[in-house]
A = this chain, B = another copy of it.
Amino acid sequence: MPNPTAAMLVIGDEILSGRTRDANMHHLAGQLTAIGIGLQEVRVVADVHERIVGAVQSLSRTYTYVFTSGGIGPTHDDITADAVGAAFGAKVDVREDARALLAAHYAKTGSELNEARLRMARIPDGATLIDNPVSTAPGFKIENVHVMAGVPSIFNAMVQSVLPTLTGGAPLLSETLRVERGEGDLAGPLGLVAAEMPELSFGSYPFQRDGVHGANLVVRGTDQAKLDRAMDRLREALDL
């Protein structure tokens, strides 16, 4: 059975303006790979209703799982819940379960559950809440879309809440061979070995740093014995 697939949607002007460097994509990629879910596509879109709706619909149709980050806070530019609801034709309003979580949290911390904070209890009908152990305001899951916060510490915590609910596949294993030799000299042998073992995926990732250049040859698959064999064949083909 092929492994389940996933896409991520990063919602945030601050990434696109170059103000903030996204960290959530890299984190989610590693977590999904480890449980055998193949992250196949990531999109970053601005805080624009139609863009979010369109991306959610497109990704939701194409992949097993979708994960979003950003835009679920209390300010006027936090429009993700409404856009995701609209993508599925679900009504979005303050929901009692989410409101109760926030009320208990702010009662404890002594902050007021004002109108802005109540925005964080706006959850589409039919969605399941995603636990937020850092700052309480929940994410949610609707259809195959998991809506999570953009702040990395909260995003990571929500990912931990979600992972046990996903059906993974065979873990995606990889082996890397670092070769300090021009990629053009590695390409021929690498291509031959890749053609011999079509059930594995072979990639070449060149580097050029401090005057040293070469490539990391990476083999990916779900069977460690086959990966080991591929590494032997690569070393042989490259006279290493």
Tell me if B116 and A184 are in contact (CB < 8 A).
yes
Q: In the complex the two chains form, what is the Cα distance from A73 to B184 in whole Å? A: 8
Number of copies: 2
Q: Which of A16-51 contact B (CB under 8 A)?
A: 16-22, 25-33, 38-47, 51
Q: Which of B25, B39, B182, B218 contacts A22 (CB 8 A)?
A: B25
Q: Which residues of B contact A116 (CB under 8 A)?
A: 183-185, 187-188, 191
Q: Which residues of B contact A207 (CB under 8 A)?
A: 151
| A42 touching B13 in the complex, CB below 8 Å, given contacts A75-B183, A182-B111 | no
Q: Which residues of B contact A111 (CB under 8 A)?
A: 182, 184-185
Q: Which residues of B contact A28 (CB under 8 A)?
A: 18
Q: How far is the CB of A237 from chain B (nearest CB, A)?
A: 13
| Chain A residues packing against B (C-beta within 8 Å) | 10, 13-22, 25-33, 38-47, 51, 73-78, 111-112, 114-117, 119-120, 134-135, 151, 153-154, 172, 174, 182-188, 190-191, 194-195, 201-209, 213, 215, 218, 220
Top 10 closest pairs, chain A to chain B, by CB: A116-B187, A18-B29, A18-B30, A117-B184, A42-B44, A75-B204, A76-B191, A21-B26, A74-B187, A75-B187
7 CB-based A-B contacts, threshold 8 Å:
A15-B25, A16-B42, A17-B39, A119-B187, A135-B208, A151-B207, A154-B208
